[in-house]
Amino acid sequence: MNSIQTPIQGFVIRYAEKSDAKLILEFITRLAIYEHMENQVTATEDKLIQSLFDDKRAEVIIGEENGVPVCFALFYHNYSTFLGKANLFLEDLYVNEDKRGLGYGKMMLSCLANIAVERNCSRLDWWCLDWNQPSIEFYKSLGANHLKEWNIFRAQHEGLASLAKHIKK
């Protein structure tokens, strides 16, 4: 698969392939540890292969430094009813701790922005934990808007099952 060249010497970005499932899971685990959420990871290589490559529910790009994977981003399309079109949502972005500050995160986001533009999307959205000040400052430095007026809600586990019971089949 063709690599996407970046202005950083030795750093390229490529789309993940099925054979990258183990690597993707390793990045997800590192991210979960960084976010103090490692106990919430239930993903497996098989689940990733099924959802990412067989069902094509999301996509992954991998950043490599001289052929060694050092970061990843998982994204998918969402939809804006106000715009009447699909956009991109960045679910996860992770750069290995020893590779931060080298511009790789910026290149990954730039690559995602290029994908969004190529696909005629108007937005690239993502969430950031409120305690993650380094990331918040990084995103602001890139010109991203912090949407303070929005609150995130989630139904999961027992709450999801309870909510689903309101419609009888």
Catalytic residues, by residue number, are 139
Token pair belonging to 18: 């099925």
Q: Looking at the chain, how many residues does it have?
A: 169
Which is nearest to 1 in space by CA: 61, 45, 91, 74? 61
Q: How far apart are CA 134 and CA 74, in angstroms?
A: 20
Q: Are 25 and 11 in contact (CB under 8 A)?
A: no
One-letter identity of residue 4: I
Strand partners, 62: 14, 72
Question: How many angstroms from the chain centroid is the CA of residue 21?
Answer: 15
Residue 90 backbone class (left: φ over 0; alpha: ψ -120 to 50; beta: rest): beta
